[in-house]
Chain A
Amino acid sequence: MNATLDLAREVAAAAAMIGGTFFMLVTGLGLLRFPDVYTRMHAAGKAGTIGVALLILAPVFFFAGSEPFVSLRGVLAIVFQFITTPAATYLLAHACYATRYPIHAGTALDELGRWMPVASDEDFGAE
């Protein structure tokens, strides 16, 4: 393999994994510092998704041309991640709001509160 091409692959992979590690660290910091579950979901749903996509891109760049099917599997993994993580975060946020999880007191606007009826105990859990 050409030496210049090797250097290019390593530089691209290093840039991708440094970016991904930065976004995962920001996600962990958000999980640690944010006050309620909705803001934590905001950190984990967006920064976590882009961080893991960048981290999956790093082996795709590194193994380009040397190992077969890594790029196909990597792109498949990124597509699955972009489909499943927002769906899971939406499901969890909807369930939290419907079961009246506490919202932080500094929340400025709660638009959904007008449209969603207050859940009663008969709706959840009571058989």
Chain B
Amino acid sequence: MSPWFEWVTQLCLLGLFVAAILCLHRILVGPGAADRAVAFDTLSAIVIGMICLLCILWESSLYFDAVWILTLVGFLGSAAVARYLARGRLFP
């Protein structure tokens, strides 16, 4: 890995960290449950991106399975919140 590429990867990790802080701010102050669910969905996407960048930084594809597992599971949180908002309960 060339030095400029490592530098760019770390800069992108810093940018994702800033975006995660913005999402955490929305989770903290969001007026309703739906705002928090949207922010949590975005936060899981940011964690997926962080795992991708760490795979590049460590030059190992060991954790790359976590990426597609998180894409499958991360959507369940906001789907559960939507179902709870629409019906008032999770299971019929």
Contacts and interface: CB of A to CB of B under 8 A. Distances in A.
Interface string A96-115: 10110100000000000000
Q: What is the size category of the interface that chain B forms with chain A? A: 35 or more
A87 B16 CA distance: 24
A55 B85 CA distance: 31
Contacts, number: 176
Given A88-B82, A91-B79, A95-B82, A58 B38 contact: no
16 contacts: A17-B9, A21-B16, A21-B49, A24-B15, A25-B15, A28-B22, A37-B38, A52-B49, A59-B56, A63-B61, A73-B68, A81-B71, A84-B75, A96-B85, A98-B86, A127-B89
Interface of A: 6-7, 10, 13-14, 17-18, 20-22, 24-25, 27-29, 31-32, 37, 40-41, 44, 48-49, 51-52, 55-56, 58-59, 62-63, 67, 69-70, 73-74, 76-77, 80-81, 84-85, 87-89, 91-92, 94-96, 98-99, 101, 124-127
Given A37-B38, A124-B88, 11 more contacts: A10-B5, A21-B49, A24-B15, A25-B15, A27-B42, A52-B71, A92-B37, A94-B82, A98-B86, A99-B86, A101-B32
Interface of B: 1-2, 5, 8-9, 12, 15-16, 18-23, 25-26, 32, 34-35, 37-39, 41-42, 45-46, 48-49, 52-53, 55-56, 60-61, 64-65, 67-68, 71-72, 74-75, 78-79, 81-83, 85-89
